[in-house]
Amino acid sequence: MKAILVLEDGKVFVGRAFGAEGEKGGEVVFNTSMTGYQEILTDPSYKGQIVTMTYPLIGNYGVNKEDVESRRPFVEGFVVKELSKIYSNWRAERSLEEYLKENNIVGIQGIDTRRLTLHIREKGAMKAILSTQDFNLESLKKKLSTLPGLVGRDLVKEVTIKKSFTLSPAQARYKVVVADRGVKYSILRELVKNECKLIVVPADTSADEILRLKPDGILLSNGPGDPAPLSYVIKTTQKLLGKVPILGICFGHQILGLAFGGKTYKLKFGHHGANHPVKDLKSGRIYITVQNHGFCVDIDSLPKKEIKITHINLNDQTLEGMRHMRLPVFSVQFHPEAGPGPYDAKIIFKEFVKMMKDA
């Protein structure tokens, strides 16, 4: 079956459909990970985006129940060079195509993903529409013109949980409230491994409600889209500062930057992949990190007398980590839990536990 991908600037890619039939729009981005397509599909931070995999062969090890990062896939569409005709792995339960059909995710294969990636790098991430039904360019371009972008849009409300839930290890030493703005299961697993009892709460939970739970620490999770319009989340975070130790990850890092009085801006094509080098400015160590974000905290906008820069992205010198000089608060832009990716940065969770221990 034919499929078509039309970009906002008029660029057109024609290929073969796989997964579900239909039509989806969103911001088209690329991910440079070589494996981990199931974790990428189920990362809530991809809500509102059509994901292109730069690695040419996808689907060769199938899909299983263990490698999901949330309750369902959140990508708007999936773009690959070649979908593997067979899958083979002792953990595999079904094919990637079956999984996409079950979850109503439209895919396209057989296009030049290298050309698409280079185009996004040159022109920037942009709106696109992926269709297996409508192939009229004028019709698709008209639909594209009405699609909302990511800037100024609250996507967190579309991925956060509706009701709180609890996770506990056999021996729990610390109680952590996780503010769910699209949290990945791997983050929850790492905290549980570090002897943390977790109370995961919806994104709109107030500061008073969180503090009534008497946590030893608070985790501000990853999530999709633009953090700037989420005034209710920023205000809640400001009320929590100084009350208990706080760790922010990715979107949570950006929310902290805004809560400190800083500003965020949209990156040209974002950071999406499992091979981004980040330097720890204190130790000089270089971490190879997992990243998935399209917005960034402006270093120059942060109050220099209160905030210390701890990590820098070596590709483009953007902010990757910060720590408050007086309060027990720190954050990272990268994903220390991996899922998928290298485990270089898992030390971040131990630093959070130490902060709670010392508080």
Q: Could you give all domains of the chain from N- to C-terminal order, each with its CATH number? A: 2-146 (3.50.30.20), 156-358 (3.40.50.880)
Torsional sign, CA 114, 24, 128, 333: negative
The predicted pLDDT at position 24 comes to: 97
What is the residue whose two structure tokens read 């956060």?
A: 160
Catalytic residues: 250, 335, 337
The predicted pLDDT at position 79 comes to: 98
Q: Where are the beta strands (DSSP E) in 54-96?
A: 57-58, 77-79, 82-83
Chain centroid, CA 107 distance in Å: 20
DSSP three-state, residue 200: strand
Close Cβ partners of 15 (under 8 Å, ≥ 6 residues apart): 2, 3, 4, 5, 108, 109, 110, 111
The CA angle 120-122-5, to the nearest 5 degrees, is: 30
The predicted pLDDT at position 160 comes to: 98
Residues of the chain with pLDDT under 70: none
Pairing of strands 106-109, 165-167: unpaired
Q: For the segment 185-237, what is each residue's pLDDT rounded down to a tens digit?
A: 999 999 999 999 999 999 999 999 999 999 999 999 999 999 999 999 999 99
Which alpha helices (H) appear in the chain, and where do they start and end?
37-41, 96-102, 113-123, 137-146, 185-193, 207-212, 231-240, 251-259, 347-358
Closest CA to 207 of 234, 167, 174: 234
The predicted pLDDT at position 14 comes to: 98
- In Å, the largest CA–CA distance within the chain is 62
Phi, psi of 335 (to 5 degrees): -105, 100
Q: For the segment 43-73, what is each residue's pLDDT rounded down to a tens digit?
A: 999 999 999 999 999 999 999 999 999 999 9
Query: Phi-psi region for residue 98, left (φ > 0), alpha (ψ -120 to 50) or beta?
Result: alpha
The DSSP letter of residue 57 is E
- Quote the CA–CA distance of 47 and 50 in Å, as a whole number: 9
Closest CA to 352 of 280, 262, 241, 244: 244
The predicted pLDDT at position 315 comes to: 97
Phi, psi of 323 (to 5 degrees): -145, 140
The predicted pLDDT at position 71 comes to: 96
